[in-house]
């Protein structure tokens, strides 16, 4: 085994797929300090800058004073605190679902809910570019797993038509994590109605950012009158809380009965120590901040518009995203690393994303904007990417 692992590590290095951790120090924000250097960073999912928000920090500290450091038990033993309950109630009320349930992370929520919902003989239909945690959840569930081409709803419909399973679950990122584009939720819902299927929506990158009051992707489509109401008994909605919400964890919202079922059946909910209550207390303040962050969202949208309006690349393909995730698709792993390195030398950090996170031949730099960025930061980034293009033309 050790020999094999040694060879695999070497092969990752030989193929430009080896990854390294950056050792951060100090506070986070648009400027990061790692490996003792400062970088202007476009790498975080802290879209609203709430990871640095003072009133959330005060709430977290107050929460510690009120409830202590950790829970010491799972929710069903003695770890369910009124702060968890208060957040769940506030969340479900805000996004107008019947009930909500906190999980320790988005990864755990995806695994826990999907594997509780479906099993052998059921079928999961998932977009090819779904997040890895959704694919792992499908494997764990032991359901039949059908993957449809990215956004190809005709392909999905063909698969639904030929499926013999009684229970059918369509699973999708709402905002695709490496591309920033949106799933066509209204049409997915229509297919659910037609084929008696259910829809699991992972809104890790939409909650806090999209829709009126940042209520997420369902609200966004509701605002545009493309869905009748955000809540539907066919939807299981998941939002992560370590991205725009600025802390950690995840929350799943659905009908009363489904949430009760997850409490009874989801192993990733039952067999793990509850999230510290102080975090739930901080998350409630984070939810308050999100709901009133219209100015912050306007600034974020302004940065995105500024970027998209001004960049005209020769060789690099800019994805069609209108969200805070803007992929610069360069193709090969080595080219992604070259651009990443070039920017690092100029004091800018944009992570290079390579297979298996993205398909072969689509390696990219994943720019993510945060409301903590200023317009001049966007200018600096653009200027340096354009300089990279012109120097690589010269060679």
Ligand X SMILES: Cc1ncc(COP(=O)(O)O)c(C=O)c1O
Q: Does 240 bind ligand X (CB under 6 A)?
A: yes
For ligand X, the binding residue among 177, 286, 340, 368 (CB under 6 A) is 177
Minimum separation from the CB atom of position 188 to ligand X (A): 16
φ and ψ at residue 282, rounded to 5 degrees: -65, -35
Minimum separation from the CB atom of position 243 to ligand X (A): 7
Q: Does 250 bind ligand X (CB under 6 A)?
A: yes
**In terms of C-beta density within 10 A (0-12 exposed, 13-18 middle, 19 or more buried), how is residue 311 classed?**
middle
Q: Does 165 bind ligand X (CB under 6 A)?
A: no
Radius of gyration of the chain (CA): 21
Site for ligand X in 54-83 (CB under 6 A): none
Distance, CA of 312 to CA of 44 (rounded, Å): 24
Q: Does 323 bind ligand X (CB under 6 A)?
A: no
Which residue's C-beta sits nearest to ligand X?
A: 106
Minimum separation from the CB atom of position 106 to ligand X (A): 2
For ligand X, the binding residue among 70, 186, 242, 331 (CB under 6 A) is 242
Nearer residue to ligand X within complex by CB, 181 or 202: 202
Minimum separation from the CB atom of position 178 to ligand X (A): 8
Q: Does 46 bind ligand X (CB under 6 A)?
A: no
Minimum separation from the CB atom of position 202 to ligand X (A): 5
Nearer residue to ligand X within complex by CB, 206 or 385: 206
Distances (CA, A) of 334 to 155, 213, 278, 279, 347: 33, 41, 44, 40, 20
Nearer residue to ligand X within complex by CB, 32 or 204: 204
Q: Does 283 bind ligand X (CB under 6 A)?
A: no
Of 151, 206, 200, the C-alpha closest to 177 is: 206
For ligand X, the binding residue among 117, 201, 204, 210 (CB under 6 A) is 204
Segment interacting with ligand X (CB under 6 A) among 99-107, 282-290, 353-361, 369-377: 99-107
Minimum separation from the CB atom of position 242 to ligand X (A): 5
Minimum separation from the CB atom of position 173 to ligand X (A): 5
Distance, CA of 227 to CA of 20 (rounded, Å): 43
Nearer residue to ligand X within complex by CB, 250 or 381: 250
Minimum separation from the CB atom of position 153 to ligand X (A): 19
Minimum separation from the CB atom of position 30 to ligand X (A): 20
**In terms of C-beta density within 10 A (0-12 exposed, 13-18 middle, 19 or more buried), how is residue 17 classed?**
middle
Torsion angle defined by CA atoms of residues 17, 23, 27 and 31, in that order, rounded to the nearest 10 degrees: -50
Contact 189, 201 (CB under 8 A): no
Q: Determine the size of the site formed for ligand X (CB under 6 A).
A: 13
Of 383, 379, 258, 259, the C-alpha closest to 313 is: 383
Nearer residue to ligand X within complex by CB, 123 or 133: 133
Nearer residue to ligand X within complex by CB, 247 or 277: 247
Q: Does 220 bind ligand X (CB under 6 A)?
A: no
Q: Does 202 bind ligand X (CB under 6 A)?
A: yes
For ligand X, the binding residue among 49, 79, 106, 214 (CB under 6 A) is 106
Fill in the per-residue mask, 107 to 146: x = in contact with ligand X (CB under 6 A), - = not in contact. Answer: x--x--------------------x-x-------------
Distance, CA of 31 to CA of 181 (rounded, Å): 26
Q: Does 335 bind ligand X (CB under 6 A)?
A: no
Q: Which residues bind ligand X (CB under 6 A)?
A: 105-107, 110, 131, 133, 173, 177, 202, 204, 240, 242, 250
């Amino acid at each position: 085994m050790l020999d094999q692992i040694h060879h695999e590590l070497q092969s990752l290095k030989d193929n430009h797929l080896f990854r390294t951790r950056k050792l951060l120090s100090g506070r986070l924000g648009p400027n990061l300090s790692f490996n003792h250097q400062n970088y202007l960073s476009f790498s975080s999912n802290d879209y609203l800058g709430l990871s640095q928000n003072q009133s959330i920090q005060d709430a977290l500290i107050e929460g510690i004073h009120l409830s202590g450091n950790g829970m010491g038990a799972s929710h069903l033993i003695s770890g369910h605190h009124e702060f968890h309950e208060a957040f769940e109630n506030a969340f479900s009320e805000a996004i107008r679902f019947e009930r909500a349930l906190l999980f320790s992370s988005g990864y755990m929520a995806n695994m826990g809910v999907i594997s509780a919902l479906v099993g052998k003989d059921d079928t999961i239909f998932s977009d090819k570019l779904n997040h890895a945690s959704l694919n792992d959840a499908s494997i764990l569930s032991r359901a039949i797993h059908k993957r449809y081409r990215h956004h190809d709803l005709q392909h999905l419909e063909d698969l639904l038509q030929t499926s013999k399973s009684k229970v059918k679950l369509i699973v999708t990122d709402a905002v695709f994590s490496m591309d920033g584009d949106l799933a066509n939720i209204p049409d997915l819902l229509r297919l659910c109605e037609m084929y008696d299927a259910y829809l699991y929506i992972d809104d890790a990158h939409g909650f806090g950012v999209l829709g009126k009051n940042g209520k997420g992707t369902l609200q966004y489509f509701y605002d545009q009158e493309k869905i009748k109401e955000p809540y539907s008994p066919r939807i299981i909605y998941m939002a992560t809380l370590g991205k725009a919400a600025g802390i950690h964890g995840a929350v799943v919202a659905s009908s009363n009965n489904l949430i009760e079922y997850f409490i009874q059946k989801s192993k990733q909910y039952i067999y793990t120590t509850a999230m510290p209550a102080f975090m739930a207390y901080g998350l409630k303040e984070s939810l308050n901040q999100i709901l009133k962050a219209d100015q912050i969202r306007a600034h974020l949208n302004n940065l995105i518009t500024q970027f998209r309006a001004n960049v005209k690349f020769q060789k690099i393909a800019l994805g069609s995203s209108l969200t805070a995730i803007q992929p610069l698709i360069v193709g090969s792993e080595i080219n992604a690393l070259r651009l990443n390195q070039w920017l690092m030398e100029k004091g800018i950090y944009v992570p290079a994303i390579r297979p298996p996170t993205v398909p072969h031949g689509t390696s990219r730099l994943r720019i993510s904007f945060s409301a903590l960025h200023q317009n001049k930061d966007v200018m600096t980034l653009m200027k340096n990417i354009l300089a990279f293009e012109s120097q690589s033309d010269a060679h």
